[in-house]
């Protein structure tokens, strides 16, 4: 997916409910890699490049995450150009067995996403 395309994400209700527990009104949510490649990653030196993602909750938008992600859950959601190379079309976030997953047309990208609060 290129940076110029509109990014759309379908957040299923179970996943939305789980994420909303960490998001207060007015906060921003980032779709961020969690593979050691950025300041929000809690994994150091991972071989999981592009296969691990997380939602990061912030009080204000990070200018490095400038790509708006339209979603049906009402989150003020953004991602960055670095993440875009790993994301395909028709993004879906779901919840199953208490785990949040991220998928696209090619299949599951990450079956165990986390939600972190970096306020």
The domains of the chain, with CATH numbers, are 7-117 (2.60.300.12)
pLDDT digits over 46-85, tens only? 555 557 899 999 999 999 999 999 999 999 999 999 999 9
Q: What is the pLDDT of residue 38?
A: 78
Which of these ranges, 21-25, 39-43, 62-66, 110-114, has the smallest mean pLDDT?
A: 39-43
Task: Note the pTM of the prediction, 2 decimals.
Answer: 0.87
Which distant-in-sequence residues (6+ apart) come within 8 Å of 3 by Cβ? Answer: 67, 81, 84
How many angstroms separate the Cα of 88 from the Cα of each of 5, 47, 73, 98, 99?
11, 21, 20, 24, 21
Q: What is the pLDDT of residue 43?
A: 63
């Amino acid at each position: 997916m290129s940076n110029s395309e509109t990014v759309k994400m379908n957040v299923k209700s179970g996943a939305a409910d789980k994420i909303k527990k960490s998001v207060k009104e007015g906060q921003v949510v980032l779709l961020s890699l969690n593979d050691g490649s950025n300041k929000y990653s809690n994994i150091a030196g991972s071989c999981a490049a592009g296969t691990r993602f997380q939602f990061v909750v912030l009080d204000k938008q990070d200018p490095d995450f400038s790509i708006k992600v339209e979603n049906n859950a009402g989150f003020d959601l953004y991602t960055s150009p670095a993440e875009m190379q790993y994301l395909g079309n028709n993004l879906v976030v779901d919840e199953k067995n208490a785990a949040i997953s991220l998928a696209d047309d090619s299949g599951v990208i990450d079956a165990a996403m986390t939600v972190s609060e970096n306020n």
